[in-house]
Chains A and B, each alone.
Chain A
Amino acid sequence: MRVKTYLKSITLFLFLLTFMSYGQEGHTEEQLLEGTKTDKEAEIKEYILHHLKDSYDFGLYSYTTDQEETKHIGFPLPVILWDNGLKVFLSSKFHHGEEVAEVGGNYYKVYHSKIYKVDGRNGEINEDEHHHATNEKPLDFSITKNVVLIFTVFAILFFMFNRMAKAYKNNNGLPKGIGRILEPIVLYVRDEIAIPNIGEKHYKKYMSYLLTVFFFVWVVNLFGLTPIGMNVTNNIAVTLCLALITYIITTFSGNKNYWKHIFWMPGVPVPMKIILAPIELLGTFIKPFALMIRLYANITAGHIVLMSIIGMMFIFNNWIGSSLSFVLAFVLAILELLVAVLQAYIFTVLSALYFGMAVEEHHDEAH
């Protein structure tokens, strides 16, 4: 009963945060009411695309003053570049991408959320016929907004689960406080995800990864719905990293039976074995690739749809259309909360399934 109350209040809290977030975004767009409809559409589209991208400073929101001047509220983050030596400076030097930053004699400019090297203070980005910048790109290890969130989630997860673990020690092996909510989830991952897919014998060594990836993706997805509006999982780099780890673990834990099923499928005629081998081998790459795309696409699509519907409120600009959009956005936001955990679940289940395939023991012609 208490757990239920906890969960309810957390859900409500996150849900309210979601709306606060879009409330703030709405504030920005109030300025658009004056413009024409197409202007607004273009601006909303640009805003959504901008929102989906990583950024070098931690912007909470921005607005335009009466003097047609855009003010950004937020704080700068460190930019770390490797360009013939380490270059570290604060992103405030870019003035939100409007100016060229000069560091140690080099000039850098932000173009489409990426840092490029330019020739001088008034250096321009050169584009080829496909509108791709041809300027040199320094190696970029900046602490971007998304990296900040990854750090935050890192800290939250570590703090939360470390506390939970300590509570067990001080409480005769019983969960306390937040552990009471988290324990059923941890046990769910173990009993419903790891054991059925990997098997009683091998599941233990994968538990750390499965639990971490589940909670990481979930919490990161939830943060994507908060007013700070960071979307870590809609970066292909993040999902690629997670999928790659799954792939590496699968490949390294593959036993004889696993490789035999890939290169020399038992129980089929020899010509089929030869045809199946490249397909199966390709399959081992496609599986983590699908894992990567699935998480990325679901989160990105969710954000685009949700923000488009919120944007529609300003395009309709009347009581009926706007309130309908509001109701739709309301429903979708709830759906997104579900998607946040669903995607974490799917990623974990599929990872567990792949590990299970890799460690499956040989059983005679059972397939």
Chain B
Amino acid sequence: MEELFGGFSLGLFIWQAILFIALVLLLKKFAWKPILDSVNDREEGIKNALDAAEKAKLEMQNLQADNQKLLQEARAERETMLKEARDMKSKMIEDAKDEAKTAAGKLIEQAQAAIETEKKAAIAELKSQVASLSIEIAEKVMREELSNKDKQVKLVESMLGEAKLN
């Protein structure tokens, strides 16, 4: 220890202290501050650029996702539209079919009704014609029958016979 501090020189200590402190202060002003500032600026710049690139990448991804979404939406929309159209088509066909069916039913009904009326009319006519015919025939027969006396008697007799039976 004594050997150690025996070599201590106050002059050297003072020179060292003055020069070293001056060096720290001078370098701080003229070297460390500008150097560290530029390095910091540069690092900040690099960091910002990287951040921007990252952001751009994210944005790109978002954009792509958006595109994808839009595409999917469009596809879904097309799908629904097609489905709607298909539905509409089948519904229209269905409706048309129903309508046709009812219309046909109605027509058939009408036709049947008409047929019924015609039939009735025809029957009625037929009846009247049959009646008049029968009368004519009866007239003719009567005339024929009554033209001969014998025959007239016979007829009366038969008729009377029938009446007797009754």
In the assembled complex, the CB of A189 is this many whole angstroms from the nearest CB of chain B, namely 10
Q: Which residues between 183 and 230 of chain A lie within 8 Å of chain B, taking CB atoms?
A: 183, 186-187, 190, 207-209, 211-212, 216
A237 touching B13 by the CB < 8 A rule? yes
Contacts of A216 in B (CB 8 A): 20, 23
Interface SS majority for chain A: helix
Q: Which of A140, A157, A207, A208 contacts B11 (CB 8 A)?
A: A140
Report B25-59 residues with CB < 8 Å from chain A CB: 25-28, 30-36, 38-39, 41-42, 45
- State whether the Cβ of B21 lies closer than 8 Å to any Cβ in chain A: yes
Which of A142, A161, A293 sits near B31, CB closer than 8 Å? Answer: A161
Per the bound structure, the CA–CA distance linking A143 and B13 in Å amounts to 12
Which residue of A144, A150, A168, A245 contacts B35 across the interface (Cβ within 8 Å)?
Answer: A168
Is the beta-carbon distance between A142 and B19 smaller than 8 angstroms?
no
What is the interface residue range for chain B against chain A?
Answer: 35 or more
Name the CB-closest residue of A to B14: A141
Q: Is the CB of A190 within 8 A of B12?
A: no
A237 touches B12 (CB 8 A): yes
CB of A165, distance to nearest CB on chain B (Å):
4
Q: How far is the CB of A157 from chain B (nearest CB, A)?
A: 6
Task: Flag whether A265 is at the interface (Cβ < 8 A).
Answer: no
Q: Is the CB of A165 within 8 A of B35?
A: yes
**Given A237-B10, A237-B12, A240-B13, does the pair A165, B19 have CB atoms closer than 8 Å?**
no
Q: A224 CB to closest chain B CB, in angstroms?
A: 15
| Count, chain A residues at interface, CB 8 A | 48
Q: How far is the CB of B152 from chain A (nearest CB, A)?
A: 154
The answer to whether A245 touches B20 (Cβ under 8 A) is: yes
8 Å CB interface, A49-82 against B: 53-54, 80
Interface stretch (choices B1-9, B75-83, B126-134, B141-149): B1-9
A166 contacts which chain B residues (CB < 8 A)?
34
For residue A8, CB closer than 8 A to chain B, the reply is no
B17 within 8 A of A: yes
- From B21, B32, B36, give the contact of A245 (CB < 8 A): B21
Contact of A242 among B10, B20, B31, B32 (CB under 8 A): B20
User: With A139-B10, A212-B23 known to touch, is A161 a contact of B16 (CB < 8 Å)?
Assistant: no
Residues of B near A296 (CB, < 8 A) are: 4
Q: What is the bound-complex CA distance between A150 and B12, given in angstroms?
A: 10
User: Which residues in chain A, 168-193, are within 8 Å of chain B measured between CB atoms?
Assistant: 168-169, 173-174, 179, 183, 186-187, 190
> Which of B11, B17, B39 has the most chain A CB atoms inside 10 A of its CB?
B11
Taken together as a complex, chains A and B put the C-alpha atoms of A161 and B31 apart, in Å, by: 5
Check A154 against B19 for contact (C-beta < 8 Å): yes
Contact status A147-B15, CB under 8 Å: yes
Instruction: Indicate if the CB atoms of B31 and A162 lie closer than 8 Å.
Output: yes
Give Cα A235–Cα B7 distance, bound, in whole angstroms.
7
Which of B15, B32, B33 lies at the interface centre, i.e. has the most chain A CB atoms within 10 A of its CB? B15
Q: How far is the CB of B69 from chain A (nearest CB, A)?
A: 41
A252 within 8 A of B: no
Check A146 against B12 for contact (C-beta < 8 Å).
yes
Residues of chain A from 136 to 159 with CB closer than 8 A to chain B in the complex: 139-144, 146-147, 150-151, 154, 157-158
**By the criterion CB–CB under 8 Å, are B11 and A241 in contact?**
no
B30: which of A80, A140, A162, A174 is its contact (CB, 8 Å)? A162
Residue of A nearest to B13 (CB): A237
**How far does the Cβ of A117 sit from chain B's closest Cβ, in whole Å?**
15
- Which residue, of A147, A235, A237, has the highest number of chain B Cβ atoms within 10 A? A237
Binding site for A on B (CB under 8 A): 4-5, 7-17, 19-28, 30-36, 38-39, 41-42, 45
5 contacts between A and B (CB under 8 A): A144-B12, A165-B31, A208-B25, A216-B23, A237-B8
Closest 8 CB pairs of A and B: A161-B31, A208-B28, A237-B13, A168-B38, A165-B34, A237-B12, A173-B38, A140-B11
